[in-house]
Amino acid sequence: MDYLQGLNPEQQAAVKQINGPVMIIAGAGSGKTRVITFRVAHLIRNGVDAFNILVLTFTNKAAREMRERINHLVGPDAKNIWMGTFHSVFAKLLRVEADKIGYPNNFTIYDTDDSKSVLRAILKEMNLDDKLYSPNFVYSRISAAKNNLVSWQEYQKNEQIQADDFSSGRGQLGVIYQNYATRCYRAGAMDFDDLLFKTNELLKNYPEVLNKYQHKFKYLMVDEYQDTNFSQYLIVKRLAAVNENICVVGDDAQSIYAFRGANIQNILNFEKDYPDLKVFKLEQNYRSTQNIVNVANSIISNNKEQLKKNVFSEKEAGDKIKVMRAFSDNEEGKLVAESIMQERSTRGLKWHDFAILYRTNAQSRSMEEALRKMGTPYKIYGGLSFYQRKEIKDLIAYFRLTFNPSDEEALKRVINYPRRGIGDTTVDRIIVSADQHQITPFEVIINPSKYLDGRTSASVGAFATMIQSFQVITKTQTAYESALHIAQHSGLLKDLYEDKSVEGLNRYENIQELLNGIKEFSEREDIEERGLDVFMQDVALLTNDDKDNNANADTVSLMTIHSSKGLEFPQVYVVGLEENLFPSQMSLNSRTDLEEERRLFYVATTRAENKLTLSYATSRFKFGTLISCEPSRFLDEIDARYLDLDLTAKPVTGNDAFFSDERTAWSKGNDTFSKPKQPTVKTTSILAKAHVPSAGFAPSDTSNLQVGMDVEHERFGFGKVISLEGNKPDIKATIFFKEIGQKQLLLKFAKLRIIKIQ
């Protein structure tokens, strides 16, 4: 077993434990993927047939990397492992078994846009207010129901759900859910949630199917188990029930997807399902410096619900974690951009060595503006992906319709693109006629004279004939040959080519890039089936990490913390560490929600390899209004021994006593901040001595404020103007206040009362 010598003792023990239930608690940067890879290879080397191994991941990228590594260790047997995301693996299973639940084996997989398009049509037909019943809200409601295995029938019978819906004025949600499920079924389509919902239905209602896969998958491994929802949990539990050779890998400290339905209790309570469980803890962090690991540990130690572990690093101590204070969100962007420029220059780094992480997408604006001004190349992750571009979705809709003519959404998208004289009125007639005769819209258009008037039947019939010709082509041609034929003969390629605008050229090039990708797929040797239908399945199941077609560009990475999960960078900036932003305002009334926010902060800090910088602003624009901000309570939870406070930014108006001069709560004698911890209300020890404004306090006209004047601020108390700088209307006054020391205020927001003129 020489191949195991590169693992540390705890990793080796986890790999060698072949039989029975196993839980591997893998701290950040602890070599989790390496352990999973070696464990699968060890199973095969010890006589387990690769056909009997099921490995479930949360990204296709992770599955591909693992398969490549396993192939290196055990050879071509690796291709026989059932490995992939929950959705891709069980989509594959459903392709085999779908007929048992009334679906065609070539069912379409709807993405979020497709699902919302169906919902918009239903809302229109039901004459419902799309503000009260917004497609986003309805979609999330149905998604949550499916993730909790609540069918539309159960939804309508559940008294509590119905009471909640009616109390919110949304009493029709149950009917919308029913219509949506019916519409998808008629179109031979499943949305992403259905892939797991229908798998549960299949395993529950068809014992012979459950028995078949229980005996096929004798060994199960689940990566990122802390991110599983109820639906995923139940599938895994059912499949593992016979052999109980189940190994789950994860880290409760990195459970950050409750908004998607992830249930941290799945990993916290795993031992209750399997009393004979063997637990292995991977606690050595190979990614980050000691200081970064120590900071992360001090953060997560504040959570009550957790599986205890002692993560450590044997790397050098490294730089202390810098905390930067900014006057505003714009200045925060400027400080971060300047810091990146300086670090790149002095340390000889590349742009792609840097990442800026934020809590919400809206925070990217100030970062982008500052980076642009500095001439720094950057890329925002989580934006419009390649496969979400209109021209790509158009061509893929042709592919979808070719393989599944019942796909109503695909038909509506391309029946008149490029234009062929089939207007919206005709499309509406097709849909209505299909509803009336309980058939699919495609069955209407292949017999247009039977259902439509003569004016439109010719063009509609020609479109149907074209799609049928595509169906013939795909049976004999490769994926690339089929795709090129459809792109050319649909008229789509010609339409884009004739658009000579810059946008038109970009769209044409995107189609060429898609065709290039299909050609590469057609020539792959590591897969047995290379038809266009198989390529379509892969595209439908892409996760966010698979959709970036420019991953190797030398750019600074900007992304939300949620998007950064699983990534690592030499230098990381976590920005916007302010109360009501991070932690978010919505999390402050619930310990459970606040603990998830803290886990999110833990994930952010552990993305850094060599240097971590935290920043916050004392004021920020919100809905067009400049508001005062307080530093995040999470800063208060960090052991001060590992921090480097950057107080060079100008102290300004707002609740900024947190870092004020000599009186900072980070006094030299304390290891942690002295600010009291409260669940929802945050104050600092200095702000606790709040100034009581004088009777009749009213701000003065400060347009003629001069150095030497005595003033009163309703919060900071009495002080003297030391200096003035800047031009109207952005004049800043430096004032020495008796209680809290020197501060700099922007006059137009300061609300000062002039007491004495020198």
Residues 174 and 120 in one domain: yes
Mean pLDDT for the stretch of residues 587-602: 90
Decide if 294 is inside a domain.
no
Helical spans, DSSP H, in 606-643 = 633-636
Nearest alpha-carbon partner for 571 in 335, 366, 318: 318
Residues 449 and 530 in one domain: yes
pTM of the shown model: 0.74
**Of 540, 560, 589, the domain-final residue:** 540
Residues 470 and 399 in one domain: yes
Task: State residue 542's pLDDT score.
Answer: 66
Whose tokens are 């158009």? That residue is 394
Decide if 436 is inside a domain.
yes
Alpha-carbon distance of 63 to 412, in angstroms, equals 35
Residue numbers in the known binding site are 26-33
Task: State residue 551's pLDDT score.
Answer: 54
Q: Please answer whether residues 360 and 581 qualify as being in contact, where contact means their C-beta atoms are separated by less than 8 angstroms.
A: yes
Decide if 239 is inside a domain.
yes
Q: Is 45 a catalytic residue?
A: no
| DSSP designation for 260 | G
Query: Which residues make beta-bridge pairs with 754?
Result: 711
Q: Is 620 a catalytic residue?
A: no
Among 11, 37, 226, 254, the active-site one is 254
Q: Is 223 a catalytic residue?
A: yes
Decide if 749 is inside a domain.
yes
Mean pLDDT for the stretch of residues 312-337: 90
Q: What is the CATH number of the domain that holds 744?
A: 2.40.10
Task: State residue 738's pLDDT score.
Answer: 78
Q: Sheet harboring 732-737: ordered strands across?
A: 741-746, 732-737, 717-725, 710-713, 752-756
Among 224, 407, 409, 609, the active-site one is 224
Task: State residue 646's pLDDT score.
Answer: 67
pLDDT more than 70, % of the chain: 90
Q: Is 289 a catalytic residue?
A: no
Task: State residue 312's pLDDT score.
Answer: 92
Whose tokens are 């229980």? That residue is 214
Residues 436 and 526 in one domain: yes
Residues 203 and 114 in one domain: no
Residues 59 and 179 in one domain: no
Task: State residue 329's pLDDT score.
Answer: 87
Residues 523 and 397 in one domain: yes
Decide if 32 is inside a domain.
yes
Task: State residue 671's pLDDT score.
Answer: 34
pLDDT more than 90, % of the chain: 48
Decide if 303 is inside a domain.
no
Task: State residue 637's pLDDT score.
Answer: 87
Task: State residue 383's pLDDT score.
Answer: 58
Pairing of strands 378-380, 569-574: unpaired
**Of 495, 525, 540, the domain-final residue:** 540
Residue 8 has pLDDT above 70, yes or no: yes
Nearest alpha-carbon partner for 152 in 128, 133, 172, 136: 172
Residues 608 and 747 in one domain: no
Among 33, 178, 478, 543, the active-site one is 33
Average pLDDT score over the chain: 85
Among 607, 675, 682, 732, the active-site one is 607
Residues 421 and 528 in one domain: yes
What stretches of 625-716 adopt beta strand conformation (E)? 625-628, 643-646, 710-713
Residues 6+ apart with CB under 8 A from 131: none
Task: Tell me the pLDDT tens digit for each residue of 136-195.
Answer: 899 999 999 999 999 999 999 998 899 988 888 899 999 999 999 999 999 999 999 999
Mean pLDDT for the stretch of residues 7-13: 92
Mind giving me the DSSP string for 416-476? Answer: TSS--S--HHHHHHHHHHHHHHTS-HHHHHTSHHHHS-HHHHHHHHHHHHHHHHHHHHHHH
Domain total for the chain?
5
**Residue 134: domain span:** 108-187
Task: State residue 285's pLDDT score.
Answer: 93
Decide if 302 is inside a domain.
no
* 654 confidence band (pLDDT: 50, 70, 90): very low
Q: Which two tokens stand for residue 696?
A: 């009749």
Q: What is the CATH number of the domain that holds 532?
A: 1.10.486.10
Residues 339 and 266 in one domain: no
Q: Is 671 a catalytic residue?
A: no
Residue 673 has pLDDT above 80, yes or no: no
Q: Is 465 a catalytic residue?
A: no
Q: In degrees rounded to 5, what are phi and psi of residue 675?
A: -65, 130
Task: Tell me the pLDDT tens digit for each residue of 572-581.
Answer: 999 999 998 9
Residue 678 has pLDDT above 60, yes or no: no
| DSSP designation for 662 | G
Among 114, 165, 223, 353, the active-site one is 223
Task: State residue 385's pLDDT score.
Answer: 63
Decide if 287 is inside a domain.
no
Residue numbers in the known binding site for ATP are 26-33
Burial status of residue 242 (CB atoms within 10 A of its CB: 0-12, 13-18, 19 or more): middle
583 φψ region: left (φ > 0), alpha (ψ -120 to 50), beta (else): beta
Q: What is the CATH number of the domain that holds 322?
A: 3.40.50.300
Task: State residue 528's pLDDT score.
Answer: 66
Task: Tell me the pLDDT tens digit for each residue of 712-729.
Answer: 987 778 889 988 988 887
For 237-254, the three-class secondary structure string (H helix, E strand, C coil) is HHHCCCCCCEEEEECHHH
Mean pLDDT for the stretch of residues 388-394: 87
**Of 629, 645, 661, the domain-final residue:** 645
Q: Please answer whether residues 214 and 243 qualify as being in contact, where contact means their C-beta atoms are separated by less than 8 angstroms.
A: yes
Residues 703 and 744 in one domain: yes
Mind giving me the DSSP string for 278-331? Answer: EEEEE-B-SSS-HHHHHHHHHHHTT-SSS-----B--S---PPEEEEEESSHHH
Alpha-carbon distance of 704 to 76, in angstroms, equals 82
Residues 206 and 327 in one domain: no
Task: State residue 182's pLDDT score.
Answer: 94
Task: Tell me the pLDDT tens digit for each residue of 444-486.
Answer: 999 888 888 777 788 899 999 999 999 999 998 889 999 999 9
